[in-house]
């Protein structure tokens, strides 16, 4: 029973499967590159290769958006860029606040890919009074006290949390209370939010641990290629510089 906050399965969103939504930005990026090279059309095979996915998967993904291709030819690059942009809601401007301007927060503020596609850093917020007024990435940092006002004034619905773990839930609560309904969390904590609020997590530590698991497995398998017990310690302590384990590249699944 506890607090009663449990996760829900990831509701399919208006007909478009969640997995497809997660790939649309990938397609969009590849298409944008093609667009900049003035490539007029592209086949599912080519685009799939550029996006690093299966061509059948790509076609099925696009089929959820509608029939935007021409058989025997492929997809019109410009048209598809527009359609996906519209589907992702990138035709409008999304003001974003970043809370917690430490090393990471500052790095995010400076990240160019932000403004590139419909996102605009509306404000940088930090709890340290000493930070207030200091410009980071050309924007003056504001104090946490003004959080609610900033959200309201700018109509912010997307918040980025880059605070220490201890402060994350508290910041999250305030963001949500102020009207934010989508949160990107960089703090290593499980955030609890009411229904209707989306949380996505980015966690360096978890990613590394998953890599370590596979890394260990590769080493273990190679070491276990002898019949049973020919002291394998050999390479164990030395460099594990073997390559080509029997494993492809692995998707990174991150529950919020």
- Where is the binding site for NAD(+), in residues? 100-105
**Residue 74 binds which of DNA, its own copies, none (CB < 5-8 A, kind-dependent):** DNA
Q: Is 69 in the site for DNA (CB under 7 A)?
A: yes
Residue bearing tokens 């594990």: 240
Interface size with DNA, residues (CB under 7 A): 31
Interface residue with DNA among 2, 7, 113, 227 (CB under 7 A) is: 7
Binding residues: 100-105
Interface size with its own copies, residues (CB under 8 A): 119
Using the Cα atoms of residue 10, residue 12, residue 14 and residue 19 in order, give the sign of their dihedral: positive
Q: Is 157 in the site for DNA (CB under 7 A)?
A: no
What is the Cα–Cα distance from 162 to 150, expressed in whole angstroms? 17
Under a CB-based contact definition with an 8 Å cutoff, are residues 141 and 110 in contact?
no
What is the Cα–Cα distance from 255 to 7, expressed in whole angstroms? 10
User: Beta partners for 143?
Assistant: 126
Interface residue with its own copies among 128, 145, 146, 242 (CB under 8 A) is: 242
**Which CB, 12 or 120, lies closer to DNA?**
12
Interface residue with its own copies among 72, 138, 227, 248 (CB under 8 A) is: 248
Q: Is 71 in the site for DNA (CB under 7 A)?
A: yes
Instruction: List the structure tokens of 68.
Output: 């935007």
Under a CB-based contact definition with an 8 Å cutoff, are residues 169 and 189 in contact?
yes
Interface residue with DNA among 5, 33, 40, 73 (CB under 7 A) is: 73
Q: Which of residues 145-164 bind its own copies (CB under 8 A)?
A: 152, 154-158
Stretch that binds DNA, among 61-69, 116-124, 214-222, 230-238 (CB under 7 A): 61-69
DSSP secondary structure string, 29-54? HHHHHHHHTT--EE-HHHHHHHHTS-
- Classify burial at 46, counting beta carbons within 10 Å of its beta carbon; exposed 0-12, middle 13-18, buried 19 or more: middle
Q: What residue ranges bind DNA (CB under 7 A)?
A: 7-10, 12, 17-20, 43-45, 53-57, 59-60, 62-63, 67-75, 255
């Amino acid at each position: 029973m506890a607090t009663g906050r449990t996760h829900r399965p990831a509701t399919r969103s208006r007909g478009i499967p969640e997995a497809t939504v997660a790939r649309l930005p990938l397609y969009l990026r590849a298409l944008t590159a093609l667009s900049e090279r003035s490539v007029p059309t592209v086949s599912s095979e080519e685009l799939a290769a550029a996006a690093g996915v299966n061509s059948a998967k790509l076609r099925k993904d696009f089929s959820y958006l509608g029939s935007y291709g021409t058989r025997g030819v492929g997809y019109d690059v410009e048209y598809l860029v527009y359609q996906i942009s519209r589907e992702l809601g990138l035709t409008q401007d999304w003001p974003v606040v970043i809370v917690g301007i430490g090393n990471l927060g500052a790095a995010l503020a400076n990240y160019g890919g932000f403004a590139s596609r419909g996102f605009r850093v509306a404000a940088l917020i930090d709890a340290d009074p000493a930070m207030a007024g200091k410009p980071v990435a050309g924007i003056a940092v504001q104090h946490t006290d003004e959080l609610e006002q900033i959200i309201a004034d700018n109509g912010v619905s997307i918040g980025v949390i880059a605070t220490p773990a201890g402060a994350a839930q508290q910041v999250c609560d305030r963001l949500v209370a102020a009207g934010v309904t989508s949160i990107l969390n960089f703090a290593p904590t499980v955030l609890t939010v009411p229904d209707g609020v989306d949380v996505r997590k980015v966690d360096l530590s978890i990613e590394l641990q998953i890599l370590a698991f596979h890394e260990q497995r590769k080493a273990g398998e190679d070491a276990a290629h002898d019949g049973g017990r020919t002291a394998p310690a050999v390479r164990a302590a030395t460099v594990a510089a073997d390559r080509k384990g029997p494993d492809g590249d692995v998707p990174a699944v991150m529950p919020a």
